[in-house]
C-alpha cells in the first residue's frame, strides 16, 4: 500500500479517500494539457451533452458537467431537447454530432423518455466519441482487456481512487456488489485487468455478507442506502461506496448517503470513500479525462 495525498483519517480508524481533492487535481492537470494542446495550434476539445426532457436531477447533472468542462478549459455544447422528442430526432442529432469536427465527446444523459431506446441511442454514438464508454464497441474493448477503448467514467474513477491506496492490486480479492452495465460490470473488468481475483455480487447472491467480508477491496454500487454494515467488512479492507441516495433527516432536511453505513464501516476498513465527496466528483473528472483523451486521439489521427 502507498501513503497518498488524497487520503486522511476518517475518524473511526480508516483513512478517508478524498475523491473531491483528487478530482480537483485531475481537472487542473487536464486544464494544463488542454492549454498545451492549444499552444501547439490545435482546436479546443469539445464535449456535447444531450439532455432530453426536464428531469430535475438530470438538469443538475448536465449543468454540473458543463461547469466542470469549462473549468478544465474545454468547450461545452449543450443540446436540450423536449420530452416529446422522437428516437429518430435524437438519432439525427447524434449523427450530426458524430460528423461535427468541433465535437470530441458526446454524452446523452440517462434516463431517456420511454419512447426512446437507450441502447440504440448509446450505440449510435461513434465509438471514438463515446466518452461515457457505454456503447457496445467500448464495452467489448474493455471486456477483451484492450487499451484502445474508452472506459465508463464511474468505474474508472473508482479504479483511480483504489490506485491512490494500492500501488499494485495483484492477487487481492475484490468483491463488487452491483452488476449494472453502468458501474458493476465494467468495474469488475477493470479489477480483473488489475490482476485482482474478482467476484460480482447482485440481488440474487447468497451469503452476500460473508462474501463481502472476504474482500480486500469492496466496491458497492446498488443504490440501496445503508446495505453494507460494519460487520460486512474485513478489517483493513478498502471500501469504495458508489451509491447515492437522498434521504430525509429528522430535522426535515435532506442529505445524500451511500450504500455503506459509513460510521460503522470506517471503524473496520483501512480506507474508505465518503458520500458525498468520494466517487461522485471522480466520475465527472473521468468524463473530462475521457473527453481530453478522445480529443488527443482524434488530433493525432488527423495529423498522421
Ligand atoms: P442499478 O439499479 O442499475 O443496479 C443496481 C445493482 O445492484 C443490480 O445489479 C442489482 O442486482 C444490485 N442490487 C440491488 N439491490 C441489491 C441488494 N440488496 N443486494 C445485492 N445487490 C443488490 O444501479 P446503478 O446504475 O449501478 O447505480 C448504483 C448506485 O450507484 C445508485 O445509487 C446510483 O445513484 C449510484 N451511482 C453513482 C454514481 C456516481 O457518480 N457517484 C454514478 C453512477 C451510479
User: Does 79 qualify as catalytic in the annotation?
Assistant: no
In whole angstroms, what is the distance from residue 82 CA to residue 113 CA?
10
Query: Ligand 1 centre and the CA of 204: distance in Å?
Result: 14
pLDDT at residue 8, rounded to an integer: 74
Q: Which three cell numbers stand for residue 258?
A: 451511500
User: Does 20 qualify as catalytic in the annotation?
Assistant: no
Q: Is the pLDDT of residue 224 over 80?
A: yes
44-126 with 152-280: one CATH topology? yes
In this structure, are residues 47 and 107 in contact, taking their beta carbons and an 8 Å threshold?
Answer: yes
Strand spans (E) along the chain: 7-9, 15-17, 46-52, 75-81, 105-108, 173-177, 197-201, 217-220, 238-241, 245-248, 254-257, 271-272
Sign of CA dihedral 9, 12, 17, 20: negative
What residue has cell string 499552444?
Answer: 39
Q: Read off the pLDDT of residues 68-106 as tens digits, 9 standing for 90 and up.
A: 999 999 999 999 999 999 999 999 999 999 999 999 999
Q: Is the pLDDT of residue 198 over 50?
A: yes
Q: Is the pLDDT of residue 303 over 80?
A: no
Q: Check: CATH 3.40.50.10860 for 44-126?
A: yes
pLDDT at residue 11, rounded to an integer: 65
Q: Is the pLDDT of residue 193 over 50?
A: yes
Query: Ligand 1 centre and the CA of 48: distance in Å?
Result: 26
Mutate to test the pocket of ligand 1, among 182, 183, 200, 218 (most ligand atoms within 8 A of CB): 183
Q: How much is the pTM?
A: 0.96
Please state the domain extents for the chain.
44-126, 152-280
Confidence of residue 247 (pLDDT cuts 50, 70, 90): very high
- Domain 152-280 - what CATH class? alpha beta
Ligand 1 neighbour 274 (Cβ under 6 A): no
Going by alpha carbons, the residue nearest to atom 34 of ligand 1 is: 244
Q: Read off the pLDDT of residues 166-184 as tens digits, 9 standing for 90 and up.
A: 999 999 999 999 999 999 9
What does the DSSP assignment read for 83-136? TT--HHHHHHHHHHHHH-TT--EEEEPSPPPTTS-HHHHHHHS-GGGBTT--SH
Q: How far is CA 273 from CA 20, 21, 208, in A?
A: 10, 12, 21
Amino acid at each position: 500500500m502507498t501513503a497518498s495525498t488524497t487520503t486522511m483519517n476518517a475518524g473511526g480508524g480508516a483513512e478517508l479517500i478524498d475523491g473531491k481533492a483528487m478530482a480537483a487535481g485531475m481537472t487542473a492537470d487536464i486544464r494544463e494539457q488542454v492549454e498545451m494542446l492549444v499552444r501547439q495550434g490545435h482546436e479546443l476539445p469539445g464535449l456535447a451533452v444531450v439532455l432530453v426532457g426536464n428531469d430535475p436531477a438530470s438538469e443538475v447533472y448536465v449543468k454540473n458537467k458543463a461547469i466542470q468542462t469549462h473549468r478544465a478549459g474545454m468547450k461545452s455544447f449543450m443540446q436540450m431537447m423536449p420530452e416529446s422528442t422522437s428516437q429518430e430526432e435524437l438519432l439525427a442529432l447524434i449523427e450530426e454530432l458524430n460528423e461535427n469536427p468541433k465535437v470530441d465527446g458526446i454524452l446523452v444523459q440517462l434516463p431517456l423518455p420511454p419512447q426512446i431506446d437507450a441502447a440504440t441511442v448509446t450505440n449510435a454514438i461513434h465509438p471514438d466519441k463515446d466518452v461515457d464508454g457505454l456503447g457496445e464497441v467500448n464495452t467489448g474493448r474493455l471486456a477483451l482487456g484492450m487499451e484502445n477503448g474508452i472506459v465508463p467514467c464511474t468505474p474508472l474513477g473508482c479504479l483511480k481512487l483504489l490506485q491512490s491506496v494500492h500501488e499494485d492490486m495483484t492477487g487481492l480479492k475484490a468483491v463488487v456488489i452491483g452488476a449494472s452495465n453502468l458501474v458493476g460490470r465494467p468495474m469488475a473488468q477493470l479489477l480483473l485487468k488489475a490482476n485482482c481475483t474478482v467476484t460480482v455480487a447482485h440481488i440474487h447472491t447468497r451469503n452476500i455478507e460473508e462474501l463481502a467480508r472476504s474482500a480486500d477491496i469492496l466496491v458497492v454500487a446498488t443504490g440501496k442506502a445503508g446495505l453494507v454494515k460494519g460487520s460486512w467488512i474485513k478489517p483493513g479492507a478498502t471500501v469504495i461506496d458508489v451509491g447515492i441516495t437522498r434521504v430525509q433527516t429528522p430535522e426535515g432536511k435532506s442529505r445524500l448517503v451511500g450504500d455503506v453505513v459509513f460510521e460503522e464501516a470506517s471503524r473496520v476498513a483501512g480506507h474508505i470513500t465518503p458520500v458525498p465527496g468520494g466517487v461522485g466528483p471522480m466520475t465527472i473528472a473521468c468524463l473530462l479525462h475521457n473527453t481530453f483523451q478522445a480529443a488527443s486521439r482524434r488530433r493525432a489521427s488527423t495529423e498522421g
